[in-house]
Structure 1
Amino acid sequence: MPAPELTPPQSGPPEAAPFGAHVLADAAARAHDLKAATGGPTRGSSSPGPPALSPPAFSLPAPPAPPVLDAPPPSAPAAAVPATGADLERVLRGPSGLGTAGLRLIPREAPAMPSQPPAAPAKSPAEGTPVPGLYHHPVPEPDPAKVEEVSRRIKSWALDEVTLYPEDWEEEFDGFSVGRYMVACHPDAPSIEHLMVATRLMVAENAVDDCYCEDHGGSPVGLGGRLLLAHTALDPLYTTQEYQPQWAQSLHADAPRRAYRSAMEYFVQTAGPAQADRYRHDMARLHLGYLAEAAWAQTEYVPEVWEYLAMRQFNNFRPCPTITDTVGGYELPADLHAQAAMQKVIALAGNATTIVNDLYSYTKELDAPGRHLNLPTVLADREGLSERDAYLKAVEVHNDLMKDFEAEAAALAAACPVPSALRFLKGVAAWVDGNHYWHRTNTYRYSLPDFW
């Protein structure tokens, strides 16, 4: 397919870092996924790559006058434009509401619609109730056949390959509904095995959180040492021949390390080197967030609201949406992933989805032993709010983060219309929506407070 035409140069805000010509040209020359974005072969295909782009340098567009991406005419062939889908259509259209018209990249009168509209979400006994007032987007019910197969495979992996949990934890493992979670979050995964890459990592991360930090014997005392040793299952130790065997043996010492080691081995078979290193970096961020929360627990310190939100930018879901290209079977080039604008979009997605967790797990954490930090409790303590008012303000914080995420993603889609970047933004948006779907429907784990 021909390379997409670039939008005219726009004058961006002074602090916006420009996407230079060499960045886009190199990214397009090395991107493996142009045909995948239009229904062609995925990563690993032997087909020739696309021609390199040679655009002029330009900056991120500044509202209120971003470029308009016209919808393709009905007669245009499918290969003439990148396939977007419903989620990317939402990202490109931008946020809605008073004062946001200038941020929309597609006119509301003539939206770029997918070839087939998504099916309406099916009703089910486990549908659950969304948090009233929470800004979110419904998703179609995940394919039940995929959910069943992923659930079967992940339980087999947990029991037979890594001996993840004892028999009396089986109900809790099943109640986590991780198969439904990952199928909802990765609608573009080309195979069950691609879905399993994300599912193993999610289960391993949850095991570390439970066993080291939270419900199943976790403690802030000594957490740093445990996390460091577990992190070597993701980022391997290179030491002398005398001590290498001892380290290798330590990776089987407990369930979290066994799970990290195995999940990472599967991941690197599918991911490229840059994708694997990206994931290791985001897991280090996650572990740093765990340590900050543990330090506050040991000193019984309730952080300021901004401090709590800073911690949550690290202790959050970021490692999950950041691998959306690996799970989708393509690769976002490393220099596009590293751009400040892309990093901001990913961070906002992680922040918003983590506040979703704070809101849906609020009553669960209140019923648990000890004091658990979450945004509503910090708001109540630091701003002198009632429990109800603090919870409702946390909903507002989430909504602001979501709208910032969508606005930043829309601006980035206009500034960098490389198909791999557009598909990645679509994947992150799908993960955000799937994460809310799972929290809403997981009535085994979550229930809402009686504030309405």
Structure 2
Amino acid sequence: MPDPGLSPLQSSLPGAAASFTARVLADAAAHGIAVPQGLAEALTVPAEVRTVPAAAGPDVADVPAGLTSEVPTGLPAAGTSGVAAPPRPDPGWVPRGPSGLGTAGLSLAPRAEPPALPAEPLTAPADALIIPGLYWHPVPEPDPVRVEEVSLRVKSWALDEIQLYPDDWEGDFDGFHTGRYMVACHPDAPTVDHLMVAARLMVAENAVDDCYCEDLGGSPVGLGGRLLLAHTALDPLHSTAEYQPAWAESLHADAPRRAYRSAMEYFVRQATPSQADRFRHDMARLHLGYLAEAAWDETNHVPEVWEYLAMRQFNNFRPCPTITDTVGGYELPADLHAQPAMQRVLALAGNASTIVNDLYSYTKELASPGRHMNLPVVLADRESLSEKDAYLKAVEVHNDLMRDFEAASAELAAACPVPSVVRFLKGVAVWVDGNHYWHQTNTYRYSLPDFW
């Protein structure tokens, strides 16, 4: 067998951006598509990434600079402790309509112009839960028409298509407010169908957590086997003709597997193969985090704070913001998504969003059977803090993660101002804000400790 030689080097962030730009222009030329006026500026990358391989297509080796001036130098500075940070501005650096690479101009889905930001500063709703000292950004109230439509559709899917829950769980299902959650997190979704892709996955993930891990039938005992079989609903088994039918039938065996199977079927119709593979990877991360927490539960181990944060980087919300481009009707190319700088942004976004969950669900978990692991509990145990001081320290950890997330996002936007990258970063930031809004306003599920 001949020596295949060395494997090709991994692409750098500039190389990935330049390659993608060249590919889009070459594809347009190959199909006889005229490049619209101004598209060259939208496809601009910094000077250091202008060189692209000659094989990528004719007349694309030198992409003019010009977009750099439209990229912000940074995201909003951290707000004063105890005061909400200003809403994230919309300065026009996220391309809209047909003018940008990787945005609606490359999507066939109809898109209405997004609503303008309100003239008055945004504040939290009157009945919202306010954690003193927490750093967060207000968001516009989600579109009530879309909220209602998503809520009706996702409940119909849960009841009629997959028989997700018994009648006595209906109150908890309604109290989750899936429609408001998804519309707040994905205000740029071109259609309700796009929002439903995220809604089904969210409901399915919640069903697996509740039924396999938490107090609606969950247990750490045997969790690995249950999660593995459920994961095959996302990442299908490829077996022999003799055994494949038994596996396919097993996907209908319980509510979590039915939910995963159905939600994934809808998702892959909307997503590209790369986006679907990315999501499977992040769900494997999530399941690994579930297993680590379950192992500690079985052995009565209280992790060190850094160990807990490592677990939470896997057992967290990351699968939700990672599909923000699918829900938005465009694609962040795989090579750009895989860059270490983008992976850091996604990890920090997921980590900050998950600590938000620890803070808002603190009293709910204390009232549940057994001992629930969350950051304030671990801080109290490992750093010998009072419950109040541990909770306040957890707020500080969240705020540090948020500031790191925003700094990393701003650095990446400046280093790689390809519109699909910049739009994706904005989408992740909006998801983080929408996730906080949902926790803050979901008084059916959450309440705050009486520390103030």
TM-score in same-fold range (> 0.5): yes
1:57 deviation in Å?
A: 3.8
Corresponding residue number in structure 1 for 2:387: 387
Aligned counterpart in structure 1 of residue 15 of structure 2, from 7, 10, 22:
22
1:47 deviation in Å?
A: 8.4
1:28 deviation in Å?
A: 2.0
Summarize the Cα distance change of 1:244–1:383 in structure 2 as closer, same or farther, 3 Å threshold: same
Check the 8 A contact 2:317/2:353 in 1, yes or no. yes
Corresponding residue number in structure 2 for 1:277: 277
Summarize the Cα distance change of 1:244–1:302 in structure 2 as closer, same or farther, 3 Å threshold: same
Is the partner of 2:218 in helix, strand or coil? coil
C-alpha separation between the residues in 2 aligned to 1:30 and 1:240? Answer: 39
Check the 8 A contact 2:45/2:418 in 1, yes or no. no
C-alpha separation between the residues in 2 aligned to 1:206 and 1:138? Answer: 25
Q: How many residues align?
A: 387
| Residue identity (%) | 72
Summarize the Cα distance change of 1:31–1:168 in structure 2 as closer, same or farther, 3 Å threshold: farther
1:24 deviation in Å?
A: 1.4
Check the 8 A contact 1:25/1:55 in 2, yes or no. no
Corresponding residue number in structure 1 for 2:297: 297
1:295 deviation in Å?
A: 0.1
C-alpha separation between the residues in 2 aligned to 1:401 and 1:445? Answer: 24
Summarize the Cα distance change of 1:137–1:97 in structure 2 as closer, same or farther, 3 Å threshold: closer
Summarize the Cα distance change of 1:173–1:20 in structure 2 as closer, same or farther, 3 Å threshold: closer
Corresponding residue number in structure 2 for 1:41: none
Summarize the Cα distance change of 1:374–1:96 in structure 2 as closer, same or farther, 3 Å threshold: closer
1:23 deviation in Å?
A: 1.4
C-alpha separation between the residues in 2 aligned to 1:220 and 1:307? Answer: 19
Corresponding residue number in structure 1 for 2:57: none
Is the partner of 1:188 in helix, strand or coil? coil
Corresponding residue number in structure 1 for 2:176: 176
1:367 aligns with 2:360: no
C-alpha separation between the residues in 1 aligned to 2:169 and 2:442? Answer: 17
Q: Partner amino acid for 1:375? A: L
1:288 deviation in Å?
A: 0.1
Corresponding residue number in structure 2 for 1:14: none
Moved more, 324-333 or 22-31: 22-31
Is the partner of 1:93 in helix, strand or coil? coil
1:93 deviation in Å?
A: 3.1
Summarize the Cα distance change of 1:48–1:173 in structure 2 as closer, same or farther, 3 Å threshold: farther
Corresponding residue number in structure 2 for 1:421: 421
Summarize the Cα distance change of 1:56–1:441 in structure 2 as closer, same or farther, 3 Å threshold: same
Corresponding residue number in structure 2 for 1:408: 408
Q: Partner amino acid for 2:77? A: P
C-alpha separation between the residues in 1 aligned to 2:347 and 2:75? Answer: 20
1:22 deviation in Å?
A: 2.8
Q: CA RMSD in A?
A: 2.7
1:128 deviation in Å?
A: 1.6
1:121 deviation in Å?
A: 4.4
C-alpha separation between the residues in 2 aligned to 1:151 and 1:182? Answer: 9
Corresponding residue number in structure 1 for 2:150: 150
Check the 8 A contact 1:20/1:56 in 2, yes or no. no
How do 1:60-75 residues align onto structure 2 when only pairs under 5 Å count? Answer: none
Summarize the Cα distance change of 1:302–1:161 in structure 2 as closer, same or farther, 3 Å threshold: same
Gaps of 5+ in 1: 1-16, 36-45, 59-79, 99-109
C-alpha separation between the residues in 2 aligned to 1:164 and 1:403? Answer: 38
Check the 8 A contact 1:29/1:53 in 2, yes or no. no
Higher relative contact order (CA 8 A, sep 6+): 1
Check the 8 A contact 1:121/1:141 in 2, yes or no. no
Corresponding residue number in structure 1 for 2:240: 240
Check the 8 A contact 1:122/1:141 in 2, yes or no. no
C-alpha separation between the residues in 1 aligned to 2:307 and 2:76? Answer: 29
1:286 aligns with 2:286: yes
C-alpha separation between the residues in 1 aligned to 2:305 and 2:410? Answer: 28
Aligned counterpart in structure 1 of residue 75 of structure 2, from 93, 96, 101:
93
Corresponding residue number in structure 2 for 1:102: none
Corresponding residue number in structure 1 for 2:141: 141
1:55 deviation in Å?
A: 5.3
Deviation track 1:97-121 (CA, whole Å, cap 9, x = no partner) reads 79xxxxxxxxxxx994789434554
1:308 aligns with 2:308: yes
Runs of 4+ in 1 over 6 A off after TM superposition: 46-52
1:423 deviation in Å?
A: 0.3
Is the partner of 2:237 in helix, strand or coil? coil
Corresponding residue number in structure 1 for 2:166: 166
Corresponding residue number in structure 1 for 2:433: 433
Check the 8 A contact 1:30/1:333 in 2, yes or no. no
Summarize the Cα distance change of 1:24–1:186 in structure 2 as closer, same or farther, 3 Å threshold: same
1:117 aligns with 2:117: yes
Gaps of 5+ in 2: 1-9, 50-65, 81-88, 94-114
Q: Partner amino acid for 1:218? A: G
